[in-house]
Amino acid sequence: MHNLKQIRENLEYFKKSLSHRNSEVNYEQILDLDKKNRQLIQEKEKFEMEKKNISKSKDESLFEKSKEISKQIENLSKKQKIIKSELDNLLSSIPNLPLDEVPIGKDENDNIEVTKSGEIKDFKFKPLSHYELGEKLNMLDFDLATKTTGSRFVFVKDKLAALERAISNFMIDTHIQKNGYTEISPPLMATDETMFGTGQLPKFENDQFEIKFDDKNDRKFLIPTAEVILTNMVKNQIIDKKKLPMRLVASTPCFRKEAGSYGKDTKGMIRQHQFYKVELVSIVENNQCMQELERMTECATKILDDLKLPYRKIILCTGDMGFGAEKTYDLEVWLPSENKYREISSCSSCGSFQARRMKARYKNNNNIEFVGTLNGSGLAVGRTLIAILENYQLEDGSITIPEVLKPYMGNIDKISNN
RNA sequence: GGAGAGAUGGCUGAGCGGUUGAAAGCACCGGUCUUGAAAACCGGCAAAGGGGCAACUCUUUCCUGGGUUCGAAUCCCAGUCUCUCCGCCA
């Protein structure tokens, strides 16, 4: 959410900056509503002052007049509220401004590779896809999931289920023990207000799974990422500066409708309605965002290093960034069966964009300022499972276990079909 | 599910129709003292929004939404949440 005053005073900058984000903003309408809004506020306040003075004077002869004034106020107030809500509506659908250092571009093709790490194995045979491997092992069952639940779900069974759990535990332990994060086991549902805070609402309601409660007006949403619930832990409060930075980690299921991605990645478990993800969230002083983004991204790459998976780090261009982000690094892991890199983590700084929506502030000496918020996957568990299957496969279809995961797998070193 | 109690500033907590935006304490900031720190003492300190170049000023806000009243943190109604007790159940 942007500050109206900022838009008013830096209109050209906003126009220019947002033009690279594939978003259409009706500036005229916003400025017009803003003007009307302020006019109404001024008129209303004039009456309010008059009324207040009468009331203070306790002069009974003016009481009748005061009643009339009340009507005027009510009238103006109604109008003003309508204008304000229209204005808020428009405002809440404007994405964050990309930082100047973010490359300008239209879509994913304009993202820029920053670094490449790890060694891509030279397979002496044709590497299978994760779903071929999983089905051969009898440990990934998509048909069964279709039967019980529908498309874009999967049953992970036996040793692969254990591997999935091992991945998650290894990641969390690493972030807690080595990277200074605090583990959280949060609710998996969130209210409208919470979803608004991180930017899922109002614009992306169609991507969310809604849960109905008994009371018709009471609904919740399944979280599409733990970012939502972790970031909102600081909403509506003024935090003691000493508590910053806050670094939080959670491993949770995530739920996404994947609306608009019909036909995309329909095979396998690349794109599911439900998947596990280890999420990192940082709440920092707002001038620490860039520093923290680098740190957070390193925490994620370290996991890939430890798992000895080949990957590259890219910086997203203006057109490919998420709604709330001001700068984003994606980590992409190598998938031999596709012969290309696929996203496995996304680390973003949102600056104070989400903080303004959430009203999350901190006291800096005697100034009240909005916090900075960052989120990153460290990493997507399902996709890490995929990456391990594919990169660690042997010719007979069995999978070796990455060294760091062995302690989490009862020290077995191989998963095979017998 | 049944019966009570409550929701006030960053926190604790008074106030229960008229200079109350709100006592007091803690925290925080500035100062005196000190070689430095602590302690002690003095002073400052709610937020959001509007107007003004500025000094400053106005409005709103005591969980949320309605209502009563010239006037509401204070009274009434509805809702949300929290706590205690009973019942039920992972």
Task: Report if CB A41 to strand B is under 7 Å.
Answer: yes
Q: Which nucleotide is nearest to A62 (CA to C1')?
A: B70
Chain position carrying tokens 């973003």: A348
Write out the DSSP string of A301-322.
Answer: HHHHHHTT--EEEEE--TTTS-
User: With pLDDT > 70 as the criterion, what percentage of chain A qualifies?
Assistant: 100
Chain position carrying tokens 């004034």: A69
For residue A189, list its beta bridge partners.
A222
The rounded distance, in Å, linking the Cα atoms of A214 and A220 is 11
Q: Look at residue A181 in the predicted model and tell me its pLDDT.
A: 97
Task: Report if CB A61 to strand B is under 7 Å.
Answer: no
**Which pLDDT band holds residue A264 (cuts at 50, 70, 90)?**
confident
Q: Is the pLDDT of residue A365 over 80?
A: no
**Which pLDDT band holds residue A23 (cuts at 50, 70, 90)?**
confident
**Which pLDDT band holds residue A233 (cuts at 50, 70, 90)?**
very high
The answer to whether the Cα torsion of A319, A323, A328, A330 is positive or negative is negative
Task: Report if CB A45 to strand B is under 7 Å.
Answer: yes
**Which pLDDT band holds residue A219 (cuts at 50, 70, 90)?**
confident
Angstrom distances, CA of residue A133 to CA of A128, A264, A268, A405: 6, 20, 10, 19
Q: Where are the beta strands (DSSP E) in A326-388?
A: 327-335, 340-349, 360-364, 367-370, 372-380
Burial A158-194 (b: 16+ CB within 10 A, else e): ebbebbbbbbbbbbbebbeeebebeebebebbbebeb
Task: Report if CB A6 to strand B is under 7 Å.
Answer: no
Q: Which nucleotide is nearest to A217 (CA to C1')?
A: B79
Chain position carrying tokens 């940082």: A282
pLDDT (tens digit per residue) in A282-327: 999 999 999 999 999 999 999 999 999 999 999 999 999 999 999 9
Residue A387 CB burial class (10 angstroms; 0-12, 13-18, ≥19): buried
The rounded distance, in Å, linking the Cα atoms of A119 and A155 is 31
**Which pLDDT band holds residue A58 (cuts at 50, 70, 90)?**
confident
Q: Is the pLDDT of residue A215 over 80?
A: no
Task: Report if CB A4 to strand B is under 7 Å.
Answer: yes
Task: Report if CB A365 to strand B is under 7 Å.
Answer: yes
Beta strand A311-315 with A112-117: parallel, antiparallel or unpaired? Answer: antiparallel
Assigned token pair, A189: 């549902």
Q: How far is the CA of A214 from the C1' of B89 (A)?
A: 19
CB-based contacts of A79, cutoff 8 Å, min separation 6: A40
Q: Look at residue A22 in the predicted model and tell me its pLDDT.
A: 85
Assigned token pair, A54: 């009468």
Q: For residue A393, give the DSSP letter.
A: B
Task: Report if CB A104 to strand B is under 7 Å.
Answer: no
Q: Taking the mean position of all CA atoms in its chain, how far away is CA A305?
A: 24
In this predicted model, which residue has the larger pLDDT, A24 or A298? A298
Q: Look at residue A240 in the predicted model and tell me its pLDDT.
A: 87
In this predicted model, which residue has the larger pLDDT, A338 or A241? A338
Q: How far is the CA of A366 from the C1' of B36 (A)?
A: 26
The rounded distance, in Å, linking the Cα atoms of A328 and A349 is 7
Q: Look at residue A250 in the predicted model and tell me its pLDDT.
A: 97
pLDDT (tens digit per residue) in A333-353: 999 999 999 999 999 999 999
The rounded distance, in Å, linking the Cα atoms of A250 and A252 is 6
Q: Is the pLDDT of residue A132 over 80?
A: yes
Q: Look at residue A260 in the predicted model and tell me its pLDDT.
A: 80
Strand B bases within 7 angstroms of protein beta carbons = 9-11, 18, 27-29, 44-51, 58-60, 70-71, 79-80
Assigned token pair, A112: 């820029």
Task: Report if CB A82 to strand B is under 7 Å.
Answer: no
Task: Report if CB A237 to strand B is under 7 Å.
Answer: yes
Q: Is the pLDDT of residue A418 over 80?
A: no
A267 φ/ψ angles, rounded to the nearest 5 degrees: -90, 140
The rounded distance, in Å, linking the Cα atoms of A306 and A166 is 14
- Determine the average pLDDT of the residues in A161-170: 98
- Collect contacts of A270-276 with beta carbons under 8 A, ≥24 apart: A270/A342, A270/A383, A270/A386, A271/A152, A272/A152, A272/A153, A272/A154, A272/A382, A273/A150, A273/A152, A273/A153, A273/A209, A274/A153, A275/A380, A275/A381, A275/A382, A275/A383, A276/A164, A276/A168, A276/A251, A276/A252, A276/A380, A276/A381, A276/A382
Q: Is the pLDDT of residue A62 over 80?
A: yes
Assigned token pair, A391: 């990169």
The C-alpha R_g of chain A, in whole angstroms, comes to 26
- The chain-wide mean pLDDT, for chain A, equals 94
**Which pLDDT band holds residue A59 (cuts at 50, 70, 90)?**
confident
